[in-house]
A and B are shown apart, each in its own frame.
Chain A
Amino acid sequence: MPERKGMRLLAHLALTACSIVFALPFIWVMVTSLKPVEQTMTLPPTWIPKTYYIQLSGKRLEVKKGIVTHEAGVIAVVKDGPKNGERIFIPNSQIKGGKALLQVQIADRIVEDYYPIDTEKEVQPGWVQVIEKLPTQYEKTEPYWTFVPPREITERVKFWFRNYLDVFVKIPFLNYAKNTLIVCILGVIGTTFTSALVAYGFARIRWPGRDFIFMLTLSSMMIPFSIVMVPLYGVFKAFGWIGTLQPLWFPYIFGAAFNIFLLKQFFITIPRDLTDAARVDGCNEFEIFWRMILPLSKPVLTVVALFHFLYAWNDFMGPLVFLTDKKTYTLSLGLQIFQSQHGGTEWHLLMAASAMVILPILVMFFFAQKTFIQGIALTGLKE
């Protein structure tokens, strides 16, 4: 079967290529979240966060790289004029007889003139500017800088875990996380229990009107959120709940159409003989539900709980519409607000914050992989 072997190799290659494409964005988040800000914006992109050192009078100094000079010049201190005392780099072409040609502002005019300087160090073409890396980005002191030949710079791989700490300084991440967890946990407990109860009523009790109401329930899943969004806003406003977390979990403690559907599909597969026997033994309907059906349904209950957790954790539109108070923002909304205010510059912090929003979901996935995959497959296959 050489042909089949070839096919398999091909499939492997294709799958490997595709999985790299699918995984790359994740790797990119992690890599970016562990970089200092200046390494986020480099061409070509930096894949391994690094840090650089130089030796300065016998001591090791952590630096970041700046420009590369193409001209020979000097680092010097200006001794006169408006820039008196400033330490600057001057190309040799702008130096004449120990004086440097400088642009200075006098009153409201920019003028060029020669000023005396004190040369500190001569710089050759190709040398790299290095700037002292201050312990945090909020430091007030001026960082030390100089030019050194590239070979004097030593580099070391360094992951900037402090970005993650900076996120907590920049946004009330813990508060957002707390809000999100409240919405998730109350919703999960409510919807899992109630949906199961309701599904039992649809699956194992025969009553007039049941099929009609179940059909209505199913059809309601097709209704776009846009339709109910406006009246729901009115309802919650009447309750005085706009700006609080209630709108995001309270409705679910009455059950949810999709969960009821999923649970009902499972409940009807449990043999009737089992429950009939219990009924003969004098169990009432609730006891049958509680003592027999629920314990048998652990896998599908887990699926419902997981899916709702995921839904509540990821939900963006609900919080966007109903949360108006910064104190009640969830992670999704908080992250979006942070993005709209700091986007475009602090990609390292944005990626660290994103990673922290994604990570709990991934951890959950790894612990409940089977349930996830089976649950997803279930939603598509059960008609």
Chain B
Amino acid sequence: MTKEEKRELVKGILFTSPWLVGFSIFVIYPILASFYYSFCNYSVLQPPRFIGLLNYKDLFTDPIFWKSLWNTGYFVIFMIPLGLVTSLSLAMLLNTKVRGMAFYRMIFFIPSLVPMVAGSILWMWIFNGEYGLFNNFLMRVGIPHPPNWLMDIRFAKPAIIIMSLWGLGNMIVIYLAGLQDVPVSLIEAADLDGANWFDKLWNITIPMISPVIYFNVIMAIIGSFQIFSQAYIMTGGGPQRSTTFYALYLYQTAFEDFRMGYASAMAWILFVIILILTLLITRVSKEKIYYGG
């Protein structure tokens, strides 16, 4: 190593030193510790005691674990496609160069800024079975007996999905930015060739924004698997655990039952699921993503 290289190394480490310290204490250490705890019986009050794979074994026979996994899967399976279609369609509508685009964009974006607690309380009121705005609307359009959304095991999850669709604003903004980068020349060339609306969408727009779609879908998956606050606030996981999502059950295990080792094992399973899904999507979409020159 030359003197010059050594100087650069010292400078580099000096500049990044706060992060190296913070990263070690608040990220690396917790990750390693959590991995160790997942093989331990740990309640914070007493030091962790190694128990091997027992937590993982217990999880496989824990009905609430499976229930929470199913609830989360349900949410993800509906939320990802619905979110993609809703936000992309709205972004495309915005991209038609209509007048007042900035205004519409603002309206769509603002809900995503609303603090989760305030948003959840607001939607509890909207979904209220007796006086809620939502059911009032449904009755007015001819559904005489709308469900009591958050109190009904069949409708509590859909209610949370509807609420989540409302907060998609940042995705809309990202898609819109992507759409605005699609070269007009390509669309015009397709117009000359007599391509119809769908051809243009399928063969030009979607491929051109595929990196943005990929990014948004990955972010949505990571986010959706960790859905917590809405359920914690609006339903507490009920009725009959129908909204006990994975992260909620994990929180309850860790901080209400103080089974921290068990919770850590759950956290690692969650991480592995997210990791596998991300890798899978990356693999599948690899040839389909177009990184423009």
**Which of A24, A202, A320 lies in contact with B16, CB distance below 8 A?**
A202
* 24 A-B pairs whose Cβ atoms sit less than 8 Å apart in the complex: A18-B93, A22-B111, A25-B122, A25-B123, A26-B110, A45-B136, A207-B8, A210-B16, A222-B274, A224-B225, A224-B274, A229-B267, A230-B42, A231-B33, A233-B44, A251-B26, A254-B21, A254-B25, A255-B22, A316-B232, A321-B255, A331-B115, A335-B117, A336-B233
Chain A min CB distance to B184 (Å):
14
Instruction: Decide: A254 near B263, CB < 8 A? Known: A210-B12, A223-B271, A231-B29.
Output: no
B22 near A28: Cβ-Cβ < 8 Å: no
Please provide the chain B residues from 74 to 132 with a CB less than 8 Å away from any CB of chain A in the complex.
90, 93-94, 96, 98-99, 104-111, 113-118, 121-126, 130-131
Mark out the residues of chain A between 264 and 302 whose CB falls within 8 Å of any chain B CB in the assembled complex. 285, 289
Contact with A along B275-288 (1 / 0, CB 8 A): 10010000000000
Task: Assess the B136–A357 pair: CB atoms within 8 A.
Answer: no
Give the number of residues in B that approach A within 8 Å (Cβ atoms).
93
Q: A222-B275, A377-B176 provided; 16 other pairs, C-beta below 8 A?
A: A15-B94, A18-B90, A43-B131, A44-B136, A194-B22, A220-B27, A224-B274, A226-B226, A226-B251, A234-B44, A253-B18, A254-B22, A285-B11, A285-B15, A358-B118, A380-B173
B23 proximal to A (CB < 8 A): yes
Of the candidate stretches B55-63, B199-207, B208-216, the one touching chain A is B208-216
A29 nearest in chain B by CB position: B122
Which of B18, B105, B121, B123 has a CB less than 8 Å from the CB of A373?
B105
User: What distance in Å separates the Cβ of A1 from its nearest Cβ neighbour in chain B?
Assistant: 12
Give chain A nearest CB distance to B153 CB in angstroms.
19
Cβ of B188 under 8 Å from chain A:
no
Query: Which chain A residues lie closer than 8 Å to B23 at the CB level?
Result: 216-217, 220, 254-255, 257
Contact A381/B178 with A223-B31, A251-B22 known, Cβ cut-off 8 Å: yes
**Please, which residues of chain A bring their CB within 8 A of the CB of B123?**
25
B250 within 8 A of A: yes
> CB of A240 within 8 A of chain B?
no
**Which chain A residues numbered 326 to 345 have a C-beta less than 8 Å away from chain B?**
331-333, 335-336, 339, 343
With a cutoff of 8 Å between Cβ atoms, the chain A residues found around residue B250 in the complex are 226
Residues of B with Cβ closer than 8 Å to A? 5, 8-9, 11-16, 18-23, 25-27, 29-31, 33-34, 37, 42, 44, 90, 93-94, 96, 98-99, 104-111, 113-118, 121-126, 130-131, 133, 136, 166, 170, 173-178, 181, 211-212, 215-216, 222, 225-226, 228-229, 232-233, 247, 250-251, 254-255, 260, 263-264, 266-268, 270-271, 274-275, 278, 291
Instruction: Answer yes or no: A317 CB below 8 A from chain B CBs.
Output: yes
Number of interface residues of A (CB under 8 A): 94
Closest partner residue, chain B, to A194 (CB atom): B18
Query: When chains A and B are docked, how far (Å) is the Cα of A15 from the Cα of B97?
Result: 12
In the complex, which residues of chain A have a beta carbon less than 8 angstroms from the beta carbon of B260? 230, 233
- Look across to chain B and name the residue whose beta carbon is closest to the beta carbon of A359: B118
Pick the most buried of B14, B216, B225, B274: most chain A CB atoms within 10 A of its CB: B14
